[in-house]
Amino acid sequence: MQHQNLREAVYFAPRGKERLLYLGNYLAQRYLDPSDRLIGFIGPSGMGKSLLIRGMFPGLELTNDDENINVRPLPLVRDIRTGSLRTHTYHVDVRFEMAFVPLSELAACVKEAVLAGRRVVVEHFDTLAPMLPMNAELLVGVGEEAVVTRPTVFGPRASEIASRVFESSRYRKMVHTAEDLTTLALLDLEQPAPDCHSDLPHGFVLEYKKELSVDLTVVERKVQQAIKANLPVTYYDEGHIRIGDRLISCTGPRIHVSRTADIQGFSLEPKLCFDPLSRHYLLVGTVGNAPKEMED
């Protein structure tokens, strides 16, 4: 197995639906083994875990309510109770199911299915892990980054991955909202929409084929004003959010802070960077503490 010596792999966690599905598909091809029986996903709600699962396991029936899919009773619990495991792969969203099934029963069902040779994909694995006698064979944590590990009995533990991704998830929400505010400010200044997006630690990159004709200090000031106004940021539908009274197109509407004032330490690089390889002009924004490579 090419991944048998894998300690961990780290990827930027993208913020759009298609990009999350693509990353999930890539992770499955690179790290998922056909014999894996217990796969755990860890991270706060709204970080895109279900989309990664859809990318990794196309056709798997998800049992949570992320897209109004509510399977009752939970197929895994139903099959364990009836003594007939009818499916090769089961999905369990632990936090969602705790409203219907005791955590101890969920753990017992997952254990029985795994030991019977079935595959179980568990969201919020860190909640269930203390009650299981085994670790996951593949763990994926989703915060600002997607962290992929193949644990052993010696770790890493689910709690270790959880502490990392829960802490970093707030930056992902701040970055995404700041990116949308920056795009709005640019459109208000009659600048074109970016040709593509990319990521950096605690920040975002808007890429343009042509150089912008705008003073970026003016753009930064407009964004800072929107942040200071403490506008509400709300989910509207799968393709839009509202910031204040403005309806905005967004490919990741659940990955935002609740109010613009929650964005801390926002800044824009005062000049566009030019990438001679892609021949794109890059507009760089950061939140929180600037990454070291931006400070140098």
Residue 293 has pLDDT above 60, yes or no: no
Architecture of domain 170-295: 2-Layer Sandwich (3.30)
**Using an 8 Å Cβ cutoff, are 169 and 256 in contact?**
no
Q: Is 204's pLDDT higher than 70?
A: yes
Pairwise CA distance, residues 89 & 118, whole Å: 6
Three-state DSSP state, 187: helix
Q: What is the mean pLDDT of residues 261-265?
A: 97
- C-alpha to C-alpha distance for 284 and 203, rounded to whole angstroms: 7
Distance (Å, whole) CA 116 – CA 135:
16
Question: The dihedral of CA 155, 171, 91, 70: what is its sign?
Answer: positive
| Band of pLDDT at residue 135, cut at 50, 70 and 90 | very high
d(CA 252, CA 257): 12
Taking a C-beta distance cutoff of 8 angstroms, is the pair 183, 246 a contact? Answer: no
Nearest to 42 by CA among 137, 184, 165, 144: 165
Cα separation, 274 vs 265, whole angstroms: 24
Superfamily of domain 9-156: P-loop containing nucleotide triphosphate hydrolases (3.40.50.300)
The whole-number pLDDT of residue 67 equals 52
pTM for this model (two decimals): 0.86
Residues 221-235 have a mean pLDDT of 97
Q: Are 105 and 77 in contact (CB under 8 A)?
A: yes
Q: Could you tell me how many residues make up the chain?
A: 296
What is the domain partition of the chain in residue ranges? 9-156, 170-295
